[in-house]
Amino acid sequence: MRQKPRARESGSGPGKTRAPGRPRSEQARLAILESTLKLLGQNGFSNLTIEDVAARAGVGKMTVYRWWPNKAPLIADAFASDTKRKLHFPATGSVFTDMSRQMRQLIKVFRGQRGRIVSAMLSGGQSDEKLIAAFRERFLWPRRQEAYGTLARAIRRGELRKDVDMDLLLDSLYGPIYMRFLIRHRSLTPGFVDSLCELVLGGARPKEKKRPRRKR
């Protein structure tokens, strides 16, 4: 006896239209990241647990572990995801403008509510190698790679020397920001960023060739 053809299941098969909205797995992932940020801002790193994040996000604990093996990469991903668009490097054709605008956005993040999260990650990372490694890999290095591209374009335009040490240049630009953020001996202001860019980028400009003196 010939079997009747089975009806197609919803969400599969050619010509089937996916229901509007985000997939449930993506909704769960975003809910976990948002819950992590809120709990971290309230309770700090040491008191944050996967169980609390799962409960606040309305998912099971194993759903969290499916994407993150522990809370260190979860925290780093939550912060990186929240700030990625804000900390994007522009491409204006001027290395001073590109760097100063991005750095101004960074100090804006540091001075806002997200600054508490950065402080928690950096302080917690001094005793937790997994946390500081996750901060480097998931937040710092992606921003660093984007900064390399900005500096490379500036070198091609002749704004910076061809032999400039990009890592030293970036450490010189961002190191003072982290110092003021952590030590709090002086304020993080847009004016500070502009002066810092002038000092550091100015020292990396190509040296002007001396014109030969005309013989009299």
Q: What is the pLDDT of residue 211?
A: 60
Which carries the bigger pLDDT value, residue 157 or residue 24?
157
Q: How confident is the model at residue 216 (pLDDT cuts 50, 70, 90)?
A: low
Q: What is the pLDDT of residue 207?
A: 86
Contacts for 98 with CB less than 8 Å, ≥ 6 apart:
89, 90, 91, 92, 150, 154
Cβ pair 76, 135 in contact under 8 A: yes
Q: In this predicted structure, which of 14-18, 86-90, 140-144, 154-158 has the lowest mean pLDDT? A: 14-18
Which of 39, 71, 103 is the C-terminal boundary of a domain?
Answer: 71
Domain membership of residue 117 (yes or no) is yes
Domain membership of residue 173 (yes or no) is yes
Domain membership of residue 190 (yes or no) is yes
Q: What is the pLDDT of residue 107?
A: 97
Alpha-carbon distance 124 to 121, whole Å?
5
Most trustworthy range by pLDDT among 4-18, 125-139, 173-187 = 173-187
Q: How confident is the model at residue 16 (pLDDT cuts 50, 70, 90)?
A: very low
Cβ pair 73, 134 in contact under 8 A: yes
Q: Looking at the predicted structure, is the pLDDT value of residue 17 above 60?
A: no
Instruction: Output the CA torsion sign for 54, 59, 61, 64.
Output: negative
Instruction: For the beta carbon of residue 151, count every other beta carbon within 10 angstroms.
Output: 22
Q: How confident is the model at residue 22 (pLDDT cuts 50, 70, 90)?
A: low
Taking residues 75-103, report their average pLDDT: 95
Residues 197 and 113 occupy one common structural domain: yes
Residues 89 and 188 occupy one common structural domain: yes
Please report, as a single letter, which amino acid is at residue 189.
T
Query: Smallest Cα–Cα separation from 41: which of 128, 121, 125, 114?
Result: 114
pLDDT digits (tens, 9 = 90+) for 100-148: 999 999 999 999 988 988 988 898 888 889 999 999 999 999 999 999 9
pLDDT digits (tens, 9 = 90+) for 188-208: 999 999 999 999 999 999 987
Residues 41 and 145 occupy one common structural domain: no
Query: Smallest Cα–Cα separation from 115: which of 180, 46, 191?
Result: 180
Residue 102 DSSP class: H
Alpha-carbon distance 57 to 168, whole Å?
41
Q: What is the pLDDT of residue 13?
A: 43
Which of 40, 71, 102 is the C-terminal boundary of a domain?
Answer: 71
Residues 59 and 154 occupy one common structural domain: no
Residues 96 and 197 occupy one common structural domain: yes
**Angle subtended by helix axes 71-83 and 50-57, to nearest 10:** 50
Structural domain containing residue 52: 24-71
**pTM flag (> 0.85):** no
Domain count for the chain, please give it.
2
Contacts for 62 with CB less than 8 Å, ≥ 6 apart:
none
Cβ pair 160, 63 in contact under 8 A: no
Instruction: Output the CA torsion sign for 199, 139, 188, 153.
Output: positive
Q: How confident is the model at residue 212 (pLDDT cuts 50, 70, 90)?
A: low
**At 28, which CATH number?**
1.10.10.60
